[in-house]
Chain A
Amino acid sequence: MKKLINDPRRVVADSARGFGLAHSGLVRVNEDPLYIVRAAGVTPGKVGLVSGGGSGHEPLHAGFVGPGMLDAAVPGAMFSSPPPMPILEATRAVDGGAGVVHLIKNYTGDVLNFEAAAELAEAEGIDTRSVLIADDVALEHAAGMTGRRGVAGALLVEKIAGAAAEAGEGLDTVARIARYVAGQVRSMGVALRAPTVPHAGRPSFDLGEDEVEIGIGIHGEPGRERVRLGTAAEITQRLIVPVISDLNLRNGEEALLLVNGMGGTPLSELYVLYAEARDLLDRRGIRVIRSLVGNFVTSLEMQGASISVLRMSETLTRLWDAPVDTVSLRSPLR
């Protein structure tokens, strides 16, 4: 393992310190317990938006704290959700009296810890709503199962719900919009090489030189199948076809296309995927009206990418275009 770190157990704390120092105009880092809030403080009367989860997915979520998006981000240990107490304290810190929405990626640990934190917040009189993000089509829906993971679609939910909250919508409306967006976005990812969690010291899984893992999660979990590395066009096809068919996206509909890097893939390759995905959608008569390409929801230094498609409407387009000022996402987004 070669990493620019001091101590495997201090990576998250050391990184958060640097983040706070580098972006002090936008964010404030609370060190114990660890959470990140807007530098300007709580906005009275505005619904607060809190997200969080394991670290290692930077810039998610701390990079999206700021006007027009999140009020707080709660980073857990590497690839491990934060305990209830920091989530509770972040929730208290951003409650402007209008209640707080928790945006939760659908992982057992995240769900359990946010659930416990919401119970504690409610007991203190803070009105909370929970929204689950489960956009990964690599996993089948089945009764009694854990359900689909939340992956890069989280970014789109956070942006649009953030715009709704900033516009002054109430608690139930913000939660409803967030759930709606979560229901209209689907994603699928591919890994060419696994990430190495600092405290584990070795890659999360082993892949042969000519193999790729299709349908990976953002924690370095193996995916649903292992295939030979083909061309970018073949990989794109494998990723986007299940996305389109699960969304039931039809000829003539409008969409947002997000090509997200997992941390270890150059932008040039992400744009190769984007071009292939764009062609594929064009051929099906699906109009891509907004696009985003870059490393937004990463998996440490994992080599790979994910493709997300969000079905757009007039309202979602307006909310997507609304001003945003965060470390990693700034207007204009056209």
Chain B
Amino acid sequence: MERAHAVFAAERVALIELDRAIGDGDHGENMDRGMTAVAKRLAADAETSQETPTPAALLKTVATTVMANVGGAAGPLFGTAFLRAAKATDSVSAPDGELDGHAVATALEAALGGLQSRGKAEVGEKTMVDAWAPAAQAAREAAEAGGDATAVLAAAAHAAEEGADATVPMIATKGRASYLGPRSAGYRDPGAVSTVLLLRTATEAALELSAAAEAAAGEDAE
């Protein structure tokens, strides 16, 4: 999440510009504010507790922090997505809290379900669902092919990216961009772009974690 904070701080202006083109320019600011609040909260938690939170507990903290600090449409949508992912993760994670590929895919599917029940959007309406839906599907396929958590996240991030690109020619029928009608075509949906940023960041963090785990395992062997 520390990494997500840095990514959104860096991409804030690009997201604002994109949202300015087809929305009202608040999305980048909202995401930056949300990730800043999350990073602050996690740092405070880390100071008071020695234990590393489980992925489920971490996702829940992210969800409640986003819901308390981020308004706009992105706040309740990402908040609900994180909350559902937390609940799903809780029921599929191993006793030590570790996630395998299937668990990650289940969490992403739950996040998509949460988004759709809150935002009532379908694929093809130029919203973040256009990134989340292919991501969840690609994640499931990667998990069934035997991929570990990192491979599943990488597949999801890649599919989300393609999904976000596919929103370019779409005419929005949901959200602020829908007011523009045909004039909304020609831009990627800002929420879909944020989804890509989140998933890509999660993949990089997972890669780093598994590399660190391998290094630690190597040291143990010596």
Q: Which residues of A contact B (CB under 8 A)?
A: 54, 76-85, 107-109, 112-113, 115-116, 138-139, 144-146, 149, 197, 199-200, 202, 204-205, 217, 219-222, 224
Contact = CB atoms under 8 A, between A and B. Distances in A.
Interface stretch (B47-55, B174-182, B206-214): B174-182
Given A113-B75, A146-B173, A217-B179, A197 B25 contact: yes
B11 interface: no
Given A116-B76, A139-B179, A146-B173, A83 B68 contact: yes
B73 interface: yes
A84 B23 CA distance: 21
Given A85-B67, A204-B25, A112 B180 contact: no
Contact of A112 (B20, B24, B118, B176): B118
Contacts of B119: 108, 112
Nearest to B80: A116
Contact of A81 (B71, B173, B175, B178): B71
Interface residues of B, number: 31
Contacts of A221: 23-24, 176, 179-180
A76 B73 CA distance: 12
21 contacts: A54-B26, A77-B71, A78-B26, A79-B25, A81-B71, A81-B72, A81-B73, A83-B70, A83-B75, A112-B76, A146-B175, A146-B179, A197-B25, A197-B26, A199-B16, A200-B16, A202-B20, A204-B25, A205-B20, A221-B24, A222-B183
A88 B129 CA distance: 27
Interface of B: 16, 20, 23-26, 29-30, 33, 67-77, 118-119, 173-176, 178-181, 183
Nearest to B74: A109
B190 to A, nearest CB: 13
Contact of A108 (B67, B70, B174, B180): B174
Contacts of B175: 108, 146
B29 A108 contact: no
B76 A79 contact: no
Given A79-B24, A108-B176, A220-B24, 12 more contacts: A54-B71, A79-B25, A81-B72, A107-B176, A108-B73, A113-B75, A146-B173, A197-B24, A199-B16, A219-B26, A221-B24, A221-B176
A79 B25 CA distance: 8
B174 to A, nearest CB: 6
Contacts of A149: 179
Contacts of B183: 222
B118 A146 contact: no
A220 B73 CA distance: 17
Listed residue (B119, B178, B179) with the most chain A CB atoms within 10 angstroms of its CB: B179
A79 B180 contact: no
Given A112-B118, A139-B179, A200 B25 contact: yes
B71 A80 contact: yes
Contacts of B76: 83-84, 109, 112-113, 115-116
B56 to A, nearest CB: 21
Nearest to A136: B179
Contact of A80 (B20, B30, B67, B179): B30
Listed residue (B25, B70, B71, B77) with the most chain A CB atoms within 10 angstroms of its CB: B71
Nearest to A142: B173
A224 B181 CA distance: 8
Contacts of A108: 73, 119, 174-176
B202 to A, nearest CB: 23
Contacts of A204: 20, 24-25
A217 B68 CA distance: 27
Closest 6 CB pairs of A and B: A80-B26, A109-B73, A219-B24, A112-B76, A109-B72, A80-B72
A5 B10 CA distance: 23
A221 B76 CA distance: 21
Contacts of B75: 83, 109, 112-113
Nearest to A143: B173
A287 to B, nearest CB: 33
A82 B30 CA distance: 11
Contacts of A115: 76
Nearest to A199: B29
A27 B190 CA distance: 37
B118 A145 contact: no
Contacts of A222: 179-180, 183
Contact of B178 (A76, A146, A197): A146
Listed residue (B20, B173, B180) with the most chain A CB atoms within 10 angstroms of its CB: B20
B19 to A, nearest CB: 9
A79 B26 contact: yes
Contacts of A79: 24-26
A85 B71 CA distance: 10
